Chain A
Amino acid sequence: MVMLRYAVYRFFTMLLTLLVVSVLIFIIINLPPGDYLSNQIAELQASGQSAGVAKAEFLRAEYALDRPMWEQYLIWIGFWPGPHGFSGLIQGNYGWSFEFDRPVSEIVGDTLWLTVVVNLAAILFVYAVALPLGVIAAARSRTWIDYTSAFVGYLGLATPNFLLALILFYYGHRYFNLPIGGLMDPQFEGQPLSWDKIKSILIHLIVPTFVIGTSGASAMMQRLRANMLDELGKPYVETAIAKGMAPSRMLTKYPLRVAFNPFVADIGNLLPSMVSGSVLVSVVLGLQTIGPTLLTALKTQDQFLSAFILMFVALLTLIGTMISDILLVMLDPRIRYEGREA
Chain B
Amino acid sequence: MTDTPDNRYVDDAPFDPQASIQQLERADLDAPNWVLVWRKFRTHKLGLISGIFLLMCYLMLPFAGFIAPYGPNERNGEHLYAPPQSVNWFYDGAFIGPHVFPIVAEADLETFQWKFVPDTDDPRPIRFFCEGSEYRLAGLIKTDRHLFCAPDGATLFLWGSDRLGRDIFSRILYGAQLSLTVGLIGISVSFFLGILFGSMAGYFGGRIDWVINRVIEILRSLPELPLWLALSAAVPSNWSPVAVFFIISIILGILDWPGLARSVRAKFLSLREEEYVRAAEMMGASSGRVIRKHLLPNFMSHLIASATLSIPAMILGETALSFLGLGLRAPAVSWGVMLNDAQNLASIEIYPWTAIPMLPIIVIVLAFNFLGDGLRDSLDPYQQ
Q: Does A298 contact B (CB under 8 A)?
A: yes
A160 touches B324 (CB 8 A): no
Taking CB atoms, residues of chain B closer than 8 Å to A295 are: 229, 324, 326
A7-29 with Cβ < 8 A to chain B: 17, 20-21, 24-25, 28-29
Interface of A, secondary structure class, is helix
- Report the minimal beta-carbon distance from B119 to chain A, rounded to whole angstroms: 32
Give bound CA distance, A321 to B365, whole Å. 28
Q: Confirm or deny: B310 has a beta carbon within 8 angstroms of a beta carbon on chain A.
A: no
- Collect the chain A residues with CB atoms within 8 Å of residue B223's CB: 271-276, 279, 313-314, 317
Q: Which residues of B contact A276 (CB under 8 A)?
A: 223-226
Given contacts A28-B230, A31-B234, A160-B323, A154 and B369 within 8 Å (CB-CB): yes
Count of CB-CB pairs between chains A and B under 8 Å? 120
Partner of A157, one of B224, B339, B369: B369
Residues of A within 8 A of B326 (CB): 295, 298-299
Q: How far does the Cβ of B353 sit from chain A's closest Cβ, in whole Å? A: 13
A273 and B227 contact, CB distance less than 8 A: no
| A159 lies within 8 A of B229 (CB) | no
The reply to whether the CB of B355 lies closer than 8 angstroms to some CB of chain A is yes
Closest to A167 in B: B348
Partner of B222 from the list A21, A158, A169, A283 (CB cut-off 8 Å) is: A21
Q: How many residues of B contact A (CB 8 A)?
A: 39
Which positions 29-78 of chain A face chain B at CB distance < 8 Å? 29, 31-33
A317–B222 touching, CB < 8 Å: yes
- Contact call B230/A160, Cβ cutoff below 8 A: no
B residues 343-381 near A (Cβ < 8 Å) are 343-345, 348-349, 355, 358, 361-362, 365-366, 369
Report if B221 contacts A (CB, 8 A).
yes
Q: Which residue of B lies closest to A316 (CB)?
A: B223
What residues of B have a CB within 8 angstroms of the CB of A90 in the complex? none
Docked Cα-Cα span, A283 to B344, in Å, equals 11
CB contact list, B183-227 vs A, under 8 A: 214, 217-218, 220-227
Asked if A162 and B226 sit within 8 Å, CB to CB, the answer is no
Q: Which of B75-83, B86-94, B299-307, B312-320 faces chain A?
A: B312-320
A158→B312 contact, CB < 8 A: yes
A:143-187 near B, CB below 8 Å = 154-155, 157-160, 162-163, 166-167, 169-170, 180
Given known A-B contacts A154-B369, A170-B349, A279-B226, A318 and B362 have beta carbons under 8 A apart: no
| Residue contact A170 to B221, C-beta cutoff 8 Å | no
Inter-chain contact A166/B348, CB cutoff 8 Å: yes
Is B339 within 8 A of A163, CB to CB? yes
A258 smallest CB distance to B (angstroms):
21
A86 to chain B, nearest CB (A): 26
B5 adjacent to chain A (CB < 8 Å):
no
- Which interface residue of B218, B220, B222 has the most chain A CB atoms within 10 A? B222
Q: Which among B222, B312, B324, B342 is the interface contact of A166 at CB below 8 angstroms?
A: B342
Judge whether B279 is part of the interface by a CB distance below 8 angstroms.
no
- Given the interface pairs A160-B316, A163-B358, the reply to whether A294 lies near B229 with Cβ below 8 Å is yes
By a CB distance below 8 angstroms, the chain A residues around B107 are: none
Chain B: CB-nearest residue to A24: B218
Q: Does A277 contact B (CB under 8 A)?
A: yes
Give every chain B residue within 8 A of A20 (Cβ-Cβ). Answer: 214, 218
CB distance from A239 to the nearest CB of B (A): 24
Whole-angstrom CA separation of A152 from B148 in the bound complex: 36
Contacting residues, chain B, for A298 (C-beta < 8 A): 229-230, 233, 326
The residues of A that contact B343 with a CB separation of less than 8 Å are 166, 284
Q: Which of A284-335 contact B (CB under 8 A)?
A: 284, 294-295, 298-299, 301, 306, 309-310, 313-314, 317-318, 321
Q: Which of B226, B231, B358 has the most CB of A within 10 A?
A: B226
Residues of A within 8 A of B312 (CB): 157-158
A276-B325 Cα distance, complex, nearest whole Å: 16
Q: CB within 8 Å of B: which residues of A?
A: 17, 20-21, 24-25, 28-29, 31-33, 154-155, 157-160, 162-163, 166-167, 169-170, 180, 268-269, 271-277, 279-280, 283-284, 294-295, 298-299, 301, 306, 309-310, 313-314, 317-318, 321
Q: Can you list 20 A-B pairs, Cβ within 8 angstroms, ordered by A?
A: A17-B221, A28-B230, A29-B230, A31-B234, A32-B233, A157-B312, A157-B365, A160-B319, A166-B343, A166-B355, A167-B355, A272-B224, A273-B224, A279-B229, A280-B225, A298-B326, A301-B233, A313-B223, A313-B226, A314-B222
Beyond the given pairs A17-B218, A317-B222, 6 more chain A to chain B contacts, judged by CB atoms under 8 angstroms and listed by A's residue number, are A24-B218, A157-B312, A158-B366, A163-B342, A275-B226, A276-B226
